[in-house]
A and B are shown apart, each in its own frame.
Chain A
């Protein structure tokens, strides 16, 4: 599964995207974020305030309780500021 980070999340984590292979117990986007945060301090720091983070699953807006089994792409980013 590919995980993408944008804006200040990308800067804090240090990469724009990465391939990850979480265990089967990681079933939702929320589980994935918790699993990443437990891996390294830079993830924990980036995910400190989860209310400031938005989610997309396979390029569609989603929530932290969205299932990730079988998905290709999960994106994590701050609220959008285009226009």
Chain B
């Protein structure tokens, strides 16, 4: 299990290689990378709640480890000012089979988006800045996991 909140960029290949090398039983590594959508903006600034952010991410990761038979999981979230196209977030999981890995990766992102204390502020091309509004679709995406029947609970 690994959770990191940092200003620096991350090396996707190195992170995925490390997950794959955790355990000889790992047969699947699934990852999601979030990028700064660049149309109409010149910068994206990520604010967070130091201390609570790490706790929230660790809790989300622990919940995924409990729900799916995972050999490992990595969550890296960047903060500070990011340029269009920059990587914001990496979520990656390792398991024996792809089914659990795909589901767990999606679960981690859905919960991260609704539970981890990060806030995005966009700077537009005319220099004005606005806080990004939370999306109802993110809440409904997270809510569907509450009653999710886990078909991969065998270890």
Chain A interfacial positions (CB closer than 8 Å to B)? 4, 6-8, 56, 59-61, 75, 77-83
Contacts and interface: CB of A to CB of B under 8 A. Distances in A.
A33 B17 CA distance: 48
A73 to B, nearest CB: 8
A80 B119 contact: yes
A76 to B, nearest CB: 11
Contacts of B131: 7-8, 78, 81
Interface in B112-126: 112-121
Contacts of A75: 49, 52, 117
A82 B48 contact: yes
Most chain A CB within a 10 A radius of its CB, from B34, B52, B112: B52
Interface of B: 34, 46-49, 51-52, 55, 77, 88-89, 109, 112-121, 131-134, 138
Contact of A82 (B51, B52, B55, B119): B119
Contacts of B77: 82-83
Nearest to B53: A82
Contact of B113 (A4, A56, A59, A83): A83
Contacts of B134: 78-81
A6 B88 contact: no
A49 to B, nearest CB: 13
Contacts of A4: 49
A79 B138 CA distance: 11
B109 A7 contact: no
B115 A80 contact: yes
Contact of A83 (B34, B51, B52): B34
A8 B119 CA distance: 9
B116 A80 contact: yes
B55 A6 contact: no
A35 B121 CA distance: 29
Contacts of B121: 7
B34 A6 contact: no
Contacts of A6: 47, 49, 117, 119
